[in-house]
Amino acid sequence: MTFDLTPEQDQLRDAVRALGRRYGHGYFVEKAKAGEHTTELWAEAGRLGYLGVNIPTEYGGGGGGITELAIVCEELAASGCPLLLLVVSPAIAATVLNRHGTEEQRKRHLPGLADGSQKIVFAITEPEAGSNFHRLGTVARRDGDGWLLNGRKCYISGVDEADHVLVVARTEDSSTGRLKPALFLVPTDAAGLTRSKLDMEIVSPENQFLLYLDDVRLPADALVGESLDAGLPALFAGLNPERITVAAMGAGTGRYAIERASEYTATRKVWGGRSIGSHQGVSHPLAHAAVQVELARLMIQKAATLYDAGRDLEAGVAGNMAKYAAGEAAALAVDTAVQVLGGAGMTTEYGVATLLGAVRAGRIAPVSREMILNFVAQHVLGQDKSY
């Protein structure tokens, strides 16, 4: 057992950290508050190969795995630039297409995902279904040689920046008549696809949308995979990378908050000239948060290692635990940083309160902490299903 990164992974971490710090949290917040996107950072990360580290080399990627992509997510977040679309486009969409797409779909989309010139977002959540994807109401029906999609999706990230939406729908199995999941690549300019921006209490340059699919006609090759049998495996292929990279982003955000707070408390002097960090009432909460973030990082590393080794079932357990741990640790770290900075913690200048909404959302999405606890109780502790 080793906890050391390879020399190549160490170099990747250092390089991404340097890139992130050149832009920094001020850039991130400025873009978010102006209603703009982090276009320059995304484009440069793509040119340098960081967006495609988990994509095979034959499609223009770096040939690494989710371990490498988690490093990219964590280090950009640790620099104050937590890019949600790293989770959506390289982690979910690229993984789904690489593992279950047709060769034509891989050739058409993976090179653009690798260099950042293309973005594919992911649409599974629905207003009525919530966490229960078995109740999805978006349905795809045969339309001659193609497909006809109808339904609604909510909380879909980055649709205004993307070329395609990877839509999870349900199709009728001709042999049983039952509905089963299938994934479709839907162009964002497709006729019948409309969107409505959701106003969120989160400082982020990436927007959330409601999507409406009204008789959206798609060609046969919009279906991901060679047949409908690819639907369920393709869906689950994206969930573990999603959880691992969301966790990495949370851990990076926690590191960023603790670093900002520690710099402040080590130099802020009151009550006789001693730094406020010398007082245990200040230093202990920060130390506690640092421990929780480091524990989450260890679970992220375990989950990514299991996933890259092809041990999907074990990675599912570890990925859920990592997401839970990182969500809690990030929320604790940011809240603690705000508290120890006092009034300064609530200012935009000091750059920690701007993360409160995002880390709170990290305890809800992409899977809530309660659903993770249900999963652990059932699959690790052997308890009866509670829902």
Q: What is the pLDDT of residues 5-54, one digit of tens each?
A: 999 999 999 999 999 999 999 999 999 999 999 999 999 999 999 999 99
* pLDDT score for 177: 57
* pLDDT score for 273: 85
* pLDDT score for 3: 84
* pLDDT score for 173: 64
In the structure encoding, which two tokens stand for residue 100, read together? 């279950």
What is the DSSP code string of 256-309?
A: HHHHHHHHHHHH-EETTTEEGGGSHHHHHHHHHHHHHHHHHHHHHHHHHHHHHT
Beta-strand ranges (E) seen in the chain are 120-123, 139-143, 146-157, 164-172, 179-187, 193-198, 208-218, 269-270, 274-275
Q: What is the mean pLDDT of the chain?
A: 95
Cβ-based neighbour number of residue 187 at 10 Å? 14
Percentage of the residues of the chain whose pLDDT score is greater than 70:
98
Q: Which of 25-34, 118-127, 128-137, 308-317 has the lowest mean pLDDT?
A: 128-137
The answer on pLDDT for 172 being more than 90 is no
Q: Is the peptide bond before 90 cis (omega within 30 degrees of 0)?
A: no
Angle ∠(78,41,108) on CA atoms, nearest 5:
115
Question: Residue written as tokens 């707070």?
Answer: 261
The answer on pLDDT for 174 being more than 80 is no
Inter-residue contact 145 to 220 (CB < 8 Å): yes
* pLDDT score for 292: 98
* pLDDT score for 180: 86
Q: What is the pTM of this model?
A: 0.96
Q: What is the pLDDT of residues 51-99, one digit of tens each?
A: 999 999 999 999 999 999 999 999 999 999 999 999 999 999 999 999 9
Q: How confident is the model at residue 175 (pLDDT cuts 50, 70, 90)?
A: low
Inter-residue contact 300 to 252 (CB < 8 Å): no
Q: In sequence order, which residues have a C-beta less than 8 Å from that of residue 352 and are 6 or more positions away?
A: 257, 260, 261, 334, 337, 338, 341, 345
The answer on pLDDT for 383 being more than 80 is yes
